[in-house]
A and B are shown apart, each in its own frame.
Chain A
Amino acid sequence: EVELVESGGGLVQPGGSLRLSCAASGFTFSSYWMSWVRQAPGKGLEWVANIKEDGSEKYYVDSVKGRFTISRDNAKNSLYLQMNSLRADDTAVYYCVHRWDHWGQGTLVTVSS
């Protein structure tokens, strides 16, 4: 059974940094693209970034380019999102997503002073 478990969320001040992690199991992690999707409180869904199986290709939504970095460690079956220069509008639940049909439970990131 596929399982995705996010961690690393929390409260951070504007301008600060946070690193999210996603532990994957139940499938061959190294064979799939992976994505991060976020949802601001009471709002809709926004795709944030994705990464190719071997990490050689990465794509980002414009609003996070230059601030967020997606990465993966296939030996650890883990996906990461390094978030720098955080802003209030980055406040959201961040989901780790596999093949669009498997989502983690999400981790809440709150950017506030």
Chain B
Amino acid sequence: EIVLTQSPGTLSLSPGERATLSCRASHSVSNNYLGWYQQKPGQAPRLFIFGASNRVTGVPDRFSGSGSGTDFTLTISRLEPEDSAVYYCQQYGSAPYTFGQGTKLEIK
């Protein structure tokens, strides 16, 4: 099983700042099948990034994903208040398709 460790646990930033969220895998993620999700309270998760660096249609270009192998990053440039949420990474390259524990992003 691939364990995903996200850091930091909580991130508190101001509008306009840049957020960098990390996801580290215990083993290499097959084919870089790594996704990033945004989840707001009371809502289902929403896929933002797939294949480590591909933005889902409709996701603002302020969101970008990078990385390969075991180290992945979600970067949100120019934070806006609506970006406040919990962000999860997930590997879907090999079962069980594990998720990280999440990073809570707070916008001051």
Contacts and interface: CB of A to CB of B under 8 A. Distances in A.
Bound pair (A, B): yes
Contact of A101 (B47, B99, B100): B47
A45 B50 contact: no
A95 B47 CA distance: 14
Task: Kindly state the interface size class of chain B when it binds its partner.
Answer: 20 to 34
B92 A100 contact: yes
A55 to B, nearest CB: 16
B102 interface: yes
B98 A47 contact: yes
Interface of B: 35, 37, 39, 44-47, 50, 56, 88, 90, 92, 95-102
Contacts of B97: 35, 47, 50
A89 B50 CA distance: 30
A44 B101 contact: yes
Given A101-B56, A103-B45, 5 more contacts: A44-B102, A45-B45, A45-B88, A47-B95, A47-B99
